[in-house]
């Protein structure tokens, strides 16, 4: 039985009038009608997948108007600003991968937030030179970096957009003005932050009802965000970085109780989204590409896979604890290198080539034993590396991912974030400002050596966001995916890739495989899964095994039988549109 149209779902979920209202939301020229050729064509319009069905509906709507994959992705980014305010939005940043169907070009855009130019390496140190507590650092203006998503959107639309700029705002405007319904995920995040929000009356006013976090089913209208979106739709991304919106952001940050921030108008005015080279490496007969620094995603995912390549995981099998032991060991080694060497390559020499050097990967792989766990997991010394000190930085599980493919073979994989739930907790113009600066390592040096990811003015903090595209031996894309989850993002993506490329599973089954991570000396595995039932067998390799609720929010698409098919993580409320 054919599923109802996502457009119908979009109307039902947000309780709006028929979708023709979109034509009244903006000037008439902003909405492009499908021409007769499009209506009569049997060519697929494409697919979209996101972590919220209302954002997915926004992406579908844009595709149906004749929009490109880039257009659909940007409309989803804007819609998620409204319906998933705890995770991402225009007050944050993101990384985008774009594949062009007509010429095979792969482009990445870095829209990561930057530290204020005035920021010093003691930003997160107290008067005694000690690191602040993490929660103490997050709340308020100190943690806010210059948002990058609107510059990323402008660059994306300029390069690959087909619809008018204004048209991309229509679904988000409807959601902000007519309202959207609070779901279980948003309600749970509101409950989690309830104690902290005594200091944030603007957030309480919008998202609380009768002195409590808004219950499931509450209709939330956000007129301030609608006002912001209308300005941006009319005046472009410049209106975010100069003028009234920018002035309000700076005022909010600089007066942001309980921590005043340093963001200036000049930081916003000078911000640029950067086109960077993709980081790619081979795995079996595939080429896997992702985002380079300041993302640690591609290099760490590729290290995990490269160290596992000599083991025939396909023969060992998905349900064999040995596979998961090997995955765990490789994960630990790759994350150790991440903690020591990864940072913004515009400020620090990052040995990406050395980390992915085949001889170095073989050397690291040889540390992995099939019958026991290693005693410790130290960083290695890849070719071209400088003296650094291993130092972990905190990342709160948050963020969102979405993919879009159109009928012309164009493909987008984007991860977007404001960092932790509701970012800094500060609202400006109806949207939450990020707490991205807490992705820096708080201490500038350790054990007499510099920490790669320490705070510097204008620097972009290290990220685990891992938007990924996989190519077959003929150079054609076959898979696009990414996830939310803080530093676990890398592992969610790596596990899913192993599920498809090693275990031969379809993408939806690979996403549903048990999640795995680590906690100090223990292996963490997802409770309620077949692997949790085999925890005794896994612990026989020499590590304590903990079962816990390791959620994930993977969204992706797979090229199947000549067309793209989208999938969403069964652990999330996410949805995909497939024609």
196 DSSP assignment: G
Q: Is the separation of the CB atoms in 54 and 13 below 8 Å?
A: yes
- Gyration radius from the chain CA atoms: 23
Strands of the sheet containing 411-417, edge to edge, are 274-276, 106-111, 93-99, 411-417, 400-406, 46-50, 575-578
- Which H or E element spans position 180? strand 180-181
Burial class of 128 by CB neighbour count within 10 A (0 to 12, 13 to 18, 19+):
exposed
Catalytic residue among 399, 400, 417, 468: 399
Q: Is the separation of the CB atoms in 470 and 497 below 8 Å?
A: yes
Q: Which residues, including other chains, have CB under 8 Å from residue 442's CB and lie 6 or more apart?
A: 124, 125, 131, 132, 137, 393, 455
The rounded distance, in Å, linking the Cα atoms of 298 and 293 is: 9
How far is the CA of 397 from the CAs of 156, 468, 552, in angstroms? Answer: 26, 19, 9
Neighbour count for residue 414 (Cβ, 10 Å): 32
The reply to whether 399 belongs to the active site is yes
455 DSSP assignment: -
The rounded distance, in Å, linking the Cα atoms of 121 and 452 is: 12
Q: Which residues, including other chains, have CB under 8 Å from residue 74's CB and lie 6 or more apart?
A: 153, 156, 157, 161, 168
Torsion of CA 562, 564, 569, 570, to 10 degrees: -60
CA angle 205, 207, 210 (to 5 degrees): 70
Q: Is the separation of the CB atoms in 378 and 338 below 8 Å?
A: no
Among 324, 377, 370, CA closest to 524: 324
Q: Is the separation of the CB atoms in 365 and 306 below 8 Å?
A: yes
**Residue 291 has which token pair?**
């985002």
The rounded distance, in Å, linking the Cα atoms of 152 and 145 is: 15
Burial class of 212 by CB neighbour count within 10 A (0 to 12, 13 to 18, 19+):
exposed
In the structure, how many helices (H) and strands (E) does the chain have? Answer: 22, 24
- Which H or E element spans position 547? strand 545-548
Q: Is the separation of the CB atoms in 411 and 69 below 8 Å?
A: yes
Catalytic residue list: 399
């Amino acid at each position: 039985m054919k599923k109802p149209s996502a457009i119908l779902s979009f109307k039902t979920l947000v309780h709006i009038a028929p979708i023709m209202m979109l034509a009244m939301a903006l000037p008439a020229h902003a909405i492009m009608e499908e021409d007769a050729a499009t209506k009569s064509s049997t060519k697929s319009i494409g697919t979209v997948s996101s972590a919220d069905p209302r954002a997915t509906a926004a992406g579908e709507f844009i595709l149906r108007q004749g929009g490109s994959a880039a257009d659909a992705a940007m409309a989803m980014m804007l819609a998620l600003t409204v319906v998933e305010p705890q995770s991402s939005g225009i007050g944050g940043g993101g990384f985008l991968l774009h594949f062009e169907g007509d010429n095979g070009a792969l482009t990445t855009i870095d829209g990561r937030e930057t530290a204020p130019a005035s920021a010093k390496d003691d930003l997160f140190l107290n008067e005694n030179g000690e690191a602040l507590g993490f929660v103490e650092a997050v709340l308020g203006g100190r943690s806010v970096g210059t948002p990058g998503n609107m510059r990323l959107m402008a660059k994306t639309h300029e390069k690959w957009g087909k619809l008018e700029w204004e048209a991309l705002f229509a679904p988000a405007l409807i959601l902000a003005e007519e309202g959207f319904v609070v779901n279980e995920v948003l309600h749970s995040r509101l409950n989690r932050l309830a104690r902290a929000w005594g200091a944030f009356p603007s957030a309480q006013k919008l998202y609380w009802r009768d002195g409590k976090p808004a219950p499931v089913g509450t209709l939330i209208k956000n007129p301030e965000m609608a006002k912001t979106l209308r300005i941006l739709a009319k005046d472009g991304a410049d209106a975010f970085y100069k003028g009234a919106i920018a002035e309000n952001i700076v005022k909010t940050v600089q007066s942001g109780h309980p921590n005043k921030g340093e963001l200036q108008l000049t930081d916003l005015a000078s911000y640029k989204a950067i086109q960077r080279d993709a980081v790619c490496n081979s795995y079996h007969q595939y080429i896997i590409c992702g985002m380079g620094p300041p993302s640690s995603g591609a290099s760490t995912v590729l290290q995990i896979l490269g160290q596992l390549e000599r083991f025939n995981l396909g023969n060992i099998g998905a349900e064999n604890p040995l596979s998961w032991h090997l995955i765990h060991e490789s994960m630990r080694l790759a994350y150790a290198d991440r903690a020591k060497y990864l940072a913004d390559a515009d400020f620090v020499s990052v040995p990406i080539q050395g980390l992915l050097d085949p001889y170095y990967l073989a050397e690291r792989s040889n540390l992995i034993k099939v019958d026991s766990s290693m005693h410790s997991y130290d960083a290695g010394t890849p070719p071209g590396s400088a003296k650094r000190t291993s130092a972990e930085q905190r990342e709160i599980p948050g963020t969102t991912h979405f993919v879009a493919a159109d009928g012309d073979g164009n493909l987008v994989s984007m991860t977007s974030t404001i960092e932790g739930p509701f970012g800094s907790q500060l609202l400006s113009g109806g949207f939450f400002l990020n707490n991205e600066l807490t992705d820096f390592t708080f201490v500038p040096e350790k054990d007499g050596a510099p920490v790669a990811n320490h705070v510097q003015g204008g620097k972009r903090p290290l990220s685990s966001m891992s938007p990924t595209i996989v190519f077959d031996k003929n150079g054609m894309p076959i898979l696009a995916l990414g996830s939310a989850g803080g530093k676990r993002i890398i592992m969610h993506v790596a596990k899913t890739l192993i599920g498809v490329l090693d275990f031969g599973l379809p993408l939806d089954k690979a996403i549903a495989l048990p999640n795995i991570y680590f906690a100090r000396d223990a292996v963490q595995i997802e409770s309620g899964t077949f692997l949790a039932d085999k925890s005794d067998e896994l612990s026989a390799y020499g590590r304590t095994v903990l079962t816990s609720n390791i959620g994930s929010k993977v969204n992706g698409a797979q090229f199947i039988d000549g067309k793209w098919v989208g999938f969403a993580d069964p652990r999330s409320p996410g949805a995909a549109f497939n024609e």
